[in-house]
């Protein structure tokens, strides 16, 4: 009986009437949200963002067969079939080739993360119902009694935005807003890009417009998979741009370089001219403080040690060679005296 009631409920959603729903008020209509409903006419799946498959854990449901790995593209309607893994590899490359942004609560070190959802049809809420609760997956979401061509572009964008934003929140891939979710709906012929706050300074509105335009040109030629691959590469290049981490590294390198130059001239010039740093009175004290606190005296001492040993090394080598030569001559001359048994060579010579 329960299954029969659910089927009746789903069928009612596809009637041609505009029904007065109380989705946000009536607790008796509460349910956990369906991932999709079936169009009784075309038998096509009409997707809701509620409980939409997560490619990191639901590879098979996302159209990727024979894999237990984490993936970053969900194509349940198999719009790009065999090319899905190639696009998935391009998305994974973004993570390995962009800089670290933060550490997740589970200890995972994260860079930028880009994921995709591809669907054929999308569930359309009834915009004429003042009681509709579009984003509440715990409530019934009725459908519009018209075809997609009869709703406005603004309404399509609202539906796509709600879907993509919910996926980015529900999937929770980026621990610090370092995630970007792309949603493509074939029915609407739209690509929507939802950007986390951590990636917003790089994936700007201009970048999004370029991505949508680029994908549109490939899609017009029937090359959806190639278009997705190209925009994945565009995002990878964009997200590899200079980030706050890069700026901090550059500033540190500049600071260390300036410090090195200062210490070099400090050590070099103070030996050439006694008063080059104003080494009198207070300036003398300041100069000695810099010398000792910076640790420059350690490098100064090591430098003199290297110079000293390098100058003395040739003389030590000559002396060692001379001593070795004298020892060898002494062994040859005083062999019989030093050793009780004569050598084999000496015995052979005496026999002859």
Domains and CATH numbers, the chain: 30-240 (3.10.310.50), 280-320 (no CATH)
Query: Could you tell me the pTM of the whole model?
Result: 0.61
> Residue 212 to residues 45, 58, 205, 215, 324: CA-CA distances in angstroms?
25, 27, 10, 5, 81
Exposed e or buried b for every residue in 90-106, given b needs 16+ CB within 10 A? bbbebbeebeebeeeee
pLDDT of residue 18: 30
H-type alpha helices, the chain: 2-12, 84-96, 153-171, 205-220, 224-239, 244-272, 282-293, 296-333, 335-338, 344-351
- Measured in whole angstroms, how far is the alpha carbon of residue 146 from the centre of its chain? 42
Q: 84-96 and 224-239 are packed helices; what angle lies between their axes, rounded to 10 degrees? A: 0
What is the spatial distance between Cα 36 and Cα 121, in angstroms, rounded to a whole number?
10
Kindly report, residue by residue over 116-131, the tens digit of the pLDDT: 999 999 988 766 655 4
Per-residue pLDDT at 340: 58
Is 117 within 8 Å of 184 (Cβ atoms)? yes
Mean pLDDT of the chain: 76
Q: Which of 112, 343, 335 is nearest to 244 (CA)?
A: 112
CA gap 168, 171 in Å, rounded: 5
Q: How far apart are alpha carbons 183 and 160 in whole angstroms?
A: 7
The strand pair at 113-119 and 190-195 is best described as: unpaired
Write out pLDDT tens, residues 256-271.
888 777 767 666 665 5
Range with top average pLDDT, 23-37, 83-97, 267-281, 298-312: 83-97
Per-residue pLDDT, 322: 75
Neighbours of 14 (CB within 10 A): 15
Q: Tell me: the pLDDT tens digits for 198-217?
A: 999 999 999 999 999 999 99
């Amino acid at each position: 009986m329960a299954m029969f009631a659910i089927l009746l409920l789903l069928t009612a959603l596809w009637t041609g009437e505009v029904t007065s729903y109380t989705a946000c008020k009536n607790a008796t209509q509460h349910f956990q949200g369906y991932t999709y409903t079936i169009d009784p006419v075309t038998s096509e799946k009409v997707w809701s963002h509620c409980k939409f498959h997560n490619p990191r854990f639901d590879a098979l449901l996302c159209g990727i067969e024979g894999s237990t790995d984490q993936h970053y593209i969900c194509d349940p309607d198999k719009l790009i079939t065999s090319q899905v893994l190639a696009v998935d590899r391009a998305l994974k490359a973004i993570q390995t080739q962009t800089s670290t942004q933060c550490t997740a609560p589970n200890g995972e070190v994260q860079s930028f993360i880009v994921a995709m959802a591809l669907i054929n049809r999308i569930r359309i809420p009834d915009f004429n119902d003042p009681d509709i609760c579009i984003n509440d997956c715990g409530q019934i979401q009725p459908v519009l009694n018209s075809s997609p061509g009869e709703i406005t572009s603004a309404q399509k964008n609202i539906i796509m935005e709600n879907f993509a934003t919910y996926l980015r929140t529900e999937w929770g891939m980026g621990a610090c807003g370092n995630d970007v979710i792309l949603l493509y709906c074939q029915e609407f012929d739209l690509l929507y890009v939802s950007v986390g706050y951590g990636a917003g300074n790089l994936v700007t509105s201009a970048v999004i417009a370029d991505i949508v335009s680029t994908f549109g040109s490939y899609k017009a030629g029937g090359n959806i998979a190639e278009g997705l691959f190209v925009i994945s590469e565009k995002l990878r290049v964009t997200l590899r741009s200079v980030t706050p981490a890069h700026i901090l590294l550059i500033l540190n390198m500049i600071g260390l370089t300036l410090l090195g130059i200062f210490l070099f001239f400090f050590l070099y010039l103070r030996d050439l001219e006694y008063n080059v740093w104003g080494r009198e009175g207070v300036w003398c004290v300041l100069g000695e403080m810099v010398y000792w606190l910076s640790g420059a005296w350690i490098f100064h001492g090591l430098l003199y040690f290297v110079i000293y040993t390098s100058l003395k090394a040739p003389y030590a080598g000559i002396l060692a060679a001379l001593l070795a030569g004298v020892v060898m001559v002494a062994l040859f001359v005083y062999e019989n005296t030093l050793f009780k048994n004569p050598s084999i060579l000496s015995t052979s010579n005496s026999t002859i």
